[in-house]
Each structure stands twice: as C-alpha cells, then as structure tokens.
Amino acid sequence: MEMTTKALEAAVVRDERYRLLVESIVDYAIYMLDPQGNVVSWNRGAQRFKGYTDQEIIGQHFSRFYTEEDRATNLPARALHIAATEGRFEQEGWRVRKDSTLMWAHVLIDPIRSADGELVGYAKVTRDLSERKATQDALRQSEQRFRLLVQGVQDYAIYMLDPLGHVSSWNRGAERFKGYTDAEIIGEHFSRFYTDEDRATELPARALRTASTEGRFEAEGWRMRKDGTRFWAHVIIDAIRGDHGELVGFAKITRDVTERRQAQQALEETRARFIQSQKMEAIGQLTGGVAHDFNNLLAVVLGNLSLARKRLPADPKLRQLIENSVQAAERGATLTKRMLAFARRQELTTDPIDVPELVRGMAELLQRSIGSTIPVSTQFPLQLPLACADASQLELALLNLTVNARDAMPEGGAITIAAREAQAATNDIPGLAPGSYVCLSVTDTGEGMDEQTLARAAEPFFTTKGVGKGTGLGLSMVHGFAEQSGGRLILRSIKGQGTTAELWLPEAPAGSLRDEATDTGPSLPHLKALTVLVVDDDPLVLANTAAMLEDLGHAVLEATSATQALRVLRRGESIDLVITDQMMPGMTGAQLIDALRAEHATVPVILASGYAELPEVGLADVVRLAKPFEQADLARALMMSLRPEAEVVQFRPKVG
C-alpha cells in the first residue's frame, strides 16, 4: 500500500513536470482534444499563435481554427478520422486566429489511447510557419519571375549546362538563334554548337575548363545552327557553385553579333580604302610633281637634240649617237606619261573606240612583245558598244597588262583577251559610278597572287620582279588611266590559279562614231615670220622653245613669269602670238590668258603643259601643247592657233 502511494505520488510529480514543460513552450501550440475534437488543454504557445486564452477556448471545437473553405470540405473531421485510423495526421495549411487573420501552420495530430486501446482523445501540435512560407513564396515568385524573364529574352541565348557540359535549360533566344527546341537539345552536349575546326582543337572542353578554374570564359567565334549555317557569336560562360564551393554547372549566354561584325568589317574596309586613297593621292601628287619637272627636262633634251640633228656633219657615228640619245629621251617621255597617267594629270583625248578592232590592230605588236611561245586568244561578242577613252593610252594599258600576264607565267601558259558589255549599279564596285561600261579583260594561266600581293599590285613602284626588271609603274599607270577615264581597274587572282585584270571603261554615248580622220602627208605647215612671246619659269625650257621658234624663222621675246609677260605686252611691242607654260609661281598660265583677254583680246595664245588638271572655263578655244614637245609639234600648234588668218606655206626643216 505504501509503495502504491509512493508510485502515485511519483506519477503525479512526473505529470506535473510534463504539464509545466508543455505550458512553458511558446514556439509550438500543444494542446489536447477529446474524442469529439473539443479542446481540453491549452498552452502558452497556442495562446500566442491563435490569440485565445485557455478560458476562451477550452471546451470549444477545434474546427474554429480552420478556414470556411476547409470546414466546407469537412477537413477537421477527416483529420481526426485519419489520425484515429492511421495513427497520425500531418498537413500544412492556412489556419484562422482569433482576430480572423490567417497563419500558415504545420499541423500534427496523434491519437491518445488508454492501456486497453480505447481512444481517449488527440494530441495536437501546431507550428506557425507564416514567415517561412512568406519567404518561400517570395523565393518562388522571384524564381518564377526570373524564369519568365530568361524565357522571354529573345536577343540572347541563355541556358544552363551541367558540370559535364550537357544542356539542362533552354530559353526562347537560344531556340531562335540555334534552331533547336528544348525537347531536342536538353540533355545534349553543348559542343554540337561548335564548328568541326573548334571541336578538333577541343575548344568546348577548354572553355569549360577556363570557366571552372578562372570563374569565367569569354570569346567570339563561329557557332553552328541546327540547319548547318554559321553565325558569329559573342559567348560568356560563368561557373555556378554551391554553398560549399562545389561546381554545380555553368551559365552560358550567347549573342548573335553577325550583323555587328559585318558592319565593323565594312567600316574597317571603308577606312582602309580611305587610307589607301589618301596614300595614293599623296603619291600621285609627288609623282605628278616629279613628272612635271622631268617633262621640262625632256623637252629641253629632245628640242636641243632635234636642232642638233639638223646641223650634224656627215658623220654616221655622230648621227647614231644623237639618234640613240633621242630614243633614250623618248623612252623617258614614255615613263613620264606613265607617271602622269597614274597621277591622273595627263591630258587625255577621249574618243569612241571599237575595242575589238583596237585589239586586232595591236595583235602583231602584242605577240611580238610577249614572244611566240605564249598563245594569245581573243573572245569578243558579235556586237559590242564603243568605249569612251584615249586610244593611245588604252593601247599602252593593254600592252602593259599583256606583258604583266606573260611575266606571271615563267613556265609558259596562255593569255586570253576578252571584252563584254557590263552594267554597274550603285555600290557594286567601290569607286565606280553606276552606268554602262565596256569591260576589257586580260586573263593568264600563271602563278596568281596571294591576298597580300593582290592588295598592293596597283601601288606605284611595287613589283614582284627582280631588281632592274621593272619600274613598278605598269599597273599603277593602268589604274590611273582607268580612273581618269571614269572607269576602274579590277584585279582578280587566286594563288596558283592565274590572274584576270579587268579594265572597266565608260560606254560611249549612243550614236557616237569614231573619227577616222588622220593627219597624212609628209610635210608640216610653216607660217610667215611671227613675233612670239614665250613665257616659262624654267630658263632651260624657255631657251629651248625660243631656239626651236627661231629655227622656224620666227622672232622671239622671252619672259620668265606671267607678270613679266604682261609688262612686255604693255610696252606696246607688236606681238603676234603668246606661248605660255601653265604651272608658274605667282600666276598660272590660265590666269595669264584671262589677263591677256582683258587687255589684248586679239592675241592668240598657246598653253603648254603636261597636266590634265586644267581649268575648263574660258579655255575651250585655246590651243594646248603637250609637254614634252618637238619642233614639229610646235609648228602644228602655231598653225592651229592662227588659222585661218595666217599665211600657210609648207614647212621644211633647216639643215646645217
């Protein structure tokens, strides 16, 4: 009996401790329900969560903690039934506080049974998870918004890779760029987006390795679409690591920058062409200046040699020396023509030209120039429009192109000269105006040129021939002639596959006819004695021109500048004609002509120059004398400037 009392007292103490323990818990609502679901105990945690005191809630049915929706579905009764039959009911859901606010609760209901198994009630433990749920909801919403954001981006391919490089997510931008749907690509290795060349160098693996070790990989390069086409991509790969630093995958962002790259390349090409044009213009200025001075020297040499040749004694050796000197000077004059053609400062006489007829007329010269071992064939259509160009310069250009073709075939080969009608639209060929053209081409089967050589081929003084085997002015002369004619020289070549040089020349206006009139006859015109004022700032040229005029029987007055020439005229000298240089310091020849017309309108003028860039206004009726000139050229210019007023007789050179 005593032991029973002690055991009872111990049990009471133990129960009191449990009660105190449960009562002291404030983070959980722990309370008892009777078998019908009425509250029979209430701890401080329950009061804190739900707002009821024990006096307010004990005896009340626990269903009041449920929302109206849950009560409508009989959830409280079902919860007790599940706990009684299955031994436990566990759920998360909304519960209602005393003040009618909601809390998100984790609920656990366990059945309480007596020793003989009779259900005596339920133990209910509730925890307020509202803050955690709010955090989870916010995180879920953030993830959803981020997912929608990523999926909505169409200008960037944004997707995930696992640590081995397999695709684990796929957005619309990736589908648009690369052509794969998410069902087709998720689980596949990302290396399929790389070219065969990049896969051969293991670029995909190196990209992941760089991102893994350095945290980031960034590059631009070609990537492949599903249909096999390429696009130029900017790629960023970032490593993704877990809370403990472990690699969990990669974030990959790809942007199609093909249009940007094309625009950048076009800009660079435009800039390169602009720099090249500046360089060519600068070289052209230099070349033109050198050629001008050289022309003056050649004019003196040729003029003096011509005069000396007429006064030679009967000495064959001496005459041969003079003839050799004349030939050398004439070769120098040809070189200056090339330089001036490159500089676009040579006077060109443009006429309608039948290109096939011109080529046929040069056939013997061309074959003799390249040798008999290289066959030359021609390909011309039955009908071809006339081209508009300077015939003599076109012949020289064609000869240069043909000789270059021969030199490109040291082991032999064949040359084809062809012509066709061509149309150029705006921006089809850089620097070429839209319109109709005749395209004359020279094609060889030689060594061809690489890109670097092709880019420099038309530069002046650039040559691939050995030292002393070429001036490097052949193609540059053709280039200058073509541009001065309103056309273009285009070179096409592949290393090992030969070269084609295309000379685009403007088509002559409809109805144009070639002027077949030629100056025939062995004799040259000679005029009655004139008083001629010669104006030139170069004393050697001035003296030479005066000597040739005096040899023709004319009186000569000399002036070394335009200002001095005007002073001579204002003295009242009787002057029949003025010959003036164009390029003089202080006042040009064209300006002197304007001044002469204002004061001496009836005096004829001859303008001597090697330049093409002369002002056209007011000079249409002025006779021009191209430098360097010989005595016969000077005599013709005199006749043209004075006809029909002058008395013309036959010109016979004086002999010593």
Distance of alpha carbon 525 from its chain centroid, rounded? 59
Q: Of the given ranges (99-103, 371-375, 613-617), which has the lowest mean pLDDT?
A: 613-617
Q: What is the pLDDT of residue 616?
A: 56
Length of the chain: 656
What pLDDT does 212 receive?
Answer: 92
**391 — pLDDT class (breaks 50, 70, 90):** confident
Of 582, 611, 606, 535, the closest CA to residue 336 belongs to 611
Render 32-100 in DSSP notation, one character per residue: EE-TTSBB----HHHHHHH---HHHHTTSBGGGGB-HHHHHTTHHHHHHHHHHHHS-EEEEEEEE-TTS
Confidence of residue 59 (pLDDT cuts 50, 70, 90): very high
Q: What's the pLDDT at 99?
A: 92
Q: Which residue, among 333, 345, 334, 347, has the nearest Cα to 288 in the 3D structure?
A: 345
Residue ranges of the chain that CATH labels 3.30.565.10:
351-506
Of the options 1.20.210.10, 3.30.70.3270, 3.30.565.10, 2.40.30.10, the CATH number for the domain spanning 351-506 = 3.30.565.10
Residue 224's H or E segment, with its range, is strand 216-224
- Which residues, including other chains, have CB under 8 Å from residue 150's CB and lie 6 or more apart? 158, 169, 171
- The amino acid at 151: Q
What CA–CA distance (Å, rounded) separates 437 from 303?
Answer: 40
Question: Within a 10 A sphere around the Cβ of 222, how many other Cβ atoms?
Answer: 14
Q: Check residue 655 and give its pLDDT.
A: 33
Domain range 524-651, CATH architecture = 3-Layer(aba) Sandwich (3.40)
Pairwise CA distance, residues 605 & 589, whole Å: 10
AA identity, residue 88: R
Bridge partners, 93 (sequence order):
105
Cα Rg, the chain, nearest whole Å: 51
Is residue 230 scored above 60 in pLDDT?
yes
What is the pLDDT confidence band of residue 201, given thresholds at 50, 70 and 90? very high
Tens-place pLDDT, residues 187-200: 999 999 999 999 99
Q: Specify the pLDDT at position 617.
A: 58
pLDDT at position 285:
62
574: left (phi > 0), else alpha (psi -120 to 50), else beta?
beta
Q: What is the mean pLDDT of residues 382-396?
A: 86
Read off the pLDDT band of 109 (50, 70, 90).
Answer: very high
- Could you tell me where in the chain the CATH 1.10.287 domains are found? 271-342
* pLDDT score for 321: 74
What pLDDT score was predicted for residue 232?
A: 92
**Residue 111 exposed, middle or buried by CB count within 10 Å (0-12, 13-18, 19+):** buried
> At which residue do the structure tokens 């701890």 appear?
43
Q: Quick one: how many helices (H) and strands (E) in the chain?
A: 21, 22
Q: How confident is the model over 364-373, as a mean pLDDT?
A: 80
CATH of 17-129, one of 2.60.40.10, 3.40.190.10, 3.30.450.20, 3.40.228.10: 3.30.450.20
What's phi and psi for 594, nearest 5 deg?
Answer: -60, -45
Q: What percent of the chain has pLDDT over 90?
A: 27
- The pLDDT > 70 percentage for the chain reads 77
pTM greater than 0.85:
no
Residue showing tokens 């004075």 = 642
pLDDT at 16: 55
Residue keyed to tokens 């006077």: 347
Q: Residue 488 corresponds to which tokens in the numbers above?
A: 């273009």
| Architecture label for domain 153-256 | 2-Layer Sandwich (3.30)
Q: Provide the pLDDT for residue 210.
A: 93
- Burial class from Cβ neighbours inside 10 Å (0-12, 13-18, 19+) for residue 178 reads buried
Q: What residue spans in the chain does CATH classification 3.30.450.20 cover? A: 17-129, 153-256
How far, in whole angstroms, is CA 455 from its chain's centroid? 15
pLDDT band at 490 (very low <50, low <70, confident <90, very high): confident
Q: Does residue 146 surpass a pLDDT of 60?
A: no
**What is the pLDDT averaged over residues 21-49?**
82
Q: Give me the pLDDT at residue 534, please.
A: 94
The pLDDT assigned to 456 comes to 61
How would you classify the pairing of strands 531-535 and 577-581?
parallel
At residue 225, does pLDDT exceed 60? yes
CATH 3.40.50.2300 residue spans of the chain: 524-651
Residue bearing the bigger pLDDT, 467 or 19: 19
Q: What dihedral angle (degrees, nearest 10) is formed by the CA atoms of 385, 386, 388, 390?
A: 150
Task: Please tell me what DSSP assigns to residue 509.
Answer: P
pLDDT computed for residue 467 by the predictor: 36
What local confidence, expressed as pLDDT, does residue 649 receive? 36
pLDDT for the residue numbered 517 = 40
3-state class (DSSP) for residue 382? coil
Render pLDDT for 513-554 as a digit per residue (tens, 0 to 9). Answer: 554 444 443 455 567 889 999 999 888 888 888 888 988 889
Q: Identify the pLDDT of residue 188.
A: 92
Query: Would you say 161 and 136 are in contact if contact means Cβ atoms under 8 Å apart?
Result: no
Query: What's the pLDDT band for 166 if we cut at 50, 70, 90?
Result: very high
pLDDT grade for 10, boundaries at 50, 70 and 90? low
Lowest mean pLDDT among 146-160, 508-522, 619-633: 508-522
Instruction: Tell me if the bond preceding 628 is cis, omega within 30° of 0.
Output: yes
Q: What is the pLDDT of residue 524?
A: 53
Q: Find the mean pLDDT for residues 220-227.
A: 91
Q: Enumerate residues 6+ apart whose C-beta is below 8 A from 287.
A: 339, 340, 342, 343, 460
SS3 of residue 17 by DSSP? helix
| Whether pLDDT at 653 is above 60 | no
φ/ψ region of 37 (left if φ > 0, alpha if ψ in -120 to 50, else beta) reads left
At 416 the pLDDT is 93
Window from 118-132, 169-183, 346-360, 581-595 with minimum mean pLDDT: 346-360
Question: Does 652 or 59 have the greater pLDDT score?
Answer: 59
Q: Looking at mean pLDDT, say which of 228-242, 516-530, 621-635 comes out highest.
A: 228-242
Q: Confidence class of residue 650 from pLDDT cuts 50, 70 and 90?
A: very low
Q: What is the CATH number of domain 271-342?
A: 1.10.287
| Mean pLDDT, residues 449-458 | 69
Mean pLDDT of 246-274: 83
What is the residue whose two structure tokens read 């519960």? 95
Lookup: tokens for 361: 């007329």
Q: What is the pLDDT of residue 284?
A: 57
**pLDDT band at residue 276, thresholds of 50, 70 and 90?**
low
| pLDDT at res. 6 | 57
> Residue 577 pLDDT > 80, yes or no?
yes
More confident position, 311 or 571:
571
Query: Which residues is 424 bridged to in the sheet?
Result: 435
pLDDT at 563 over 80: yes
SS3 assignment for 117-174:
CCEEEEEEEEEECHHHHHHHHHHHHHHHHHHHHHHHCCCCEEEEECCCCEECCCCHHH
Residue scoring higher pLDDT (655 or 551): 551
